[in-house]
Structure 1
């Protein structure tokens, strides 16, 4: 388990590694003990959030630590759900499983069929005339398997040739289970259409992961980005008139839509399969019944993905909706809605003991003043703000540096230190793996990680 903290330094949110504990499959009590050990030198009452990836043991741990901090200090942790990146991976996984196509088994079998067998690789290269081999499928990072499926599509004719030559006994028949899976899938006339649809949905979700694998404060943009992502998925399986009724701006209504109501769903013949999957379906020699089943399975794929996102994503938490009032584009396009969200957000923070009720009126007045100042600052600066290239913390602190915005500035800092995901922690696991050597003690790993973190924060070894 890695410990990281987020804090402010020089008007910028910093994420810093503070230690590791190697637990294996620890219980919530183990997590609690090591967490308390890891933070014993920190002011516990200042902890406002514990971010995590969401396994049940972590959820139980969160409730335990939340209760402990409330009992000891009378304040409540803010909660915006588990890591949005993990939610997206797991939602896509649910979609793949709902389709019953067993794409993961095919991709894994393709890789392991040739991985540890030079003889099979030689046979494959001899009969196909190609040295391009399948890539490794990663079961716990579903969205990162787009390249794996694209490679499989690229070499599929070669795979078919290899299986054919095995059956004709021109090359030795593998005795492993991986070959049996591949040989069975080769007989499926819709296997390429299934892989193309897998790729189609994955590439729709991928931009979100790319944008949010960052240390920048991104919570104020979560609602809009998740709304855009969900709207795009819904357009493939939900009727156009239902989508028009919701409107292009109402993200809250979008997440409230009952996607399981048959009245809201398109018929199987109108499911959006994407250009490549639709082309493969047309070219496949299948019956009308098989075509219908494929479209229904594609529909189940999208609905299962949507269901998980709408149930587990951070957008289900009210504070995520409220924090969109710090989105510069929203501040320009809909200032009255932003004011309403600010008041609701303050109410939530007051109930958690994080903001003094007497400061709320002052914060609201200063926020109004900031909105009134936008034309003089430059409306285009706010309207054209790009959260994927620019830092919101630095942008807002530039316009809140005057004394007149002191209370608002403190509140904004409290909001922006909230973490949207586990990107830095996940990278930390990779660092751990790189520094590990045989018999390296836990303290030595922590020491090396601290050095790596310091070098990264100062901008490299030369600095």
Structure 2
């Protein structure tokens, strides 16, 4: 049937069924649920178009500068013509917004199950969602019967151009197109001034002037490029990565200032998510090195959207994995050697501590022996100058002290032998 319109379909349907008794008709169906499946491809198609459009523009520019051969096809001519439309990106976003309104309805009714009882209500919801974008709310009738008979060509019911809902994406594109560079520069200078007041800008006023000048250059050059106009932050395209690519080489002072601005809103979400990741990879008896390795793997997979099948298998990775067993054996050998060295250090420290303790005991015993000997001599001297019972008592005490001094000297001899033995063992350990 080619590109027939709805009116053509209705006319041919009536022509083909005029001889039939429609009272006996139970249902009217298509060949299958996949007949109009192409309508569901509108949204993915425009999303893909927005994704590849910057690359298409680059290709067209290369062709125009004769760096790439002109394919000379009608499709390329259509692309060149479309590029001349300054509102093309806004149109893409508007089409995407409308497609998202239709998508749930189209998806729901691509089925073989009986859905006719719900069609009226769902169709009313779809029409109201569309009309709200262009028609005044108070002009929309309450009943579905009146809604389908609404005279949409009546200008009195239309919203003003500024009130028409063209979608957030299209609105953002148009705002960027009409953004006043002077306002942007004024706001940037205010930020720089605030940093200067708080003494947070290294280099002072001269650096602030450089930042303002570089920002003004960006506004009149790079900011007018399609990549800036069509940029939309997402998981695969971060604003800090984008600005680093555009500013770090040509405008280093401006990029350094932008990094500080981006850090102002940087929270702890990434760190907190890291705790959750640690909990997921944590297993029994997992060493610190194992935990670090697990986190590195998780973070690398997250760079590719969390899909491990998208991680490229480079030659370096394959070689690294092939030698993993050898490196593991080397690691175990190093750990054994390290453990042996640690045991050796602990043993030596223990022996040094024991030797120091023995030396302290020797000094203490020498002092005790000397004290006992002196006290015994004093008792003997007193006994010589005394008589009777007192002399006998002093001699007894003197002899007792001498015996104790003798015992301590014997103990001191054994202690010196232990010190000599420990010293020999320590010297052998150090060899």
TM-score, length-scaled by structure 2: 0.37
Which one scores higher on RCO, CA 8 angstroms, separation ≥ 6?
A: 1
Give the TM-score of the pair, scaled to structure 1: 0.34
| Greater Cα radius of gyration, structure 1 or 2 | 2
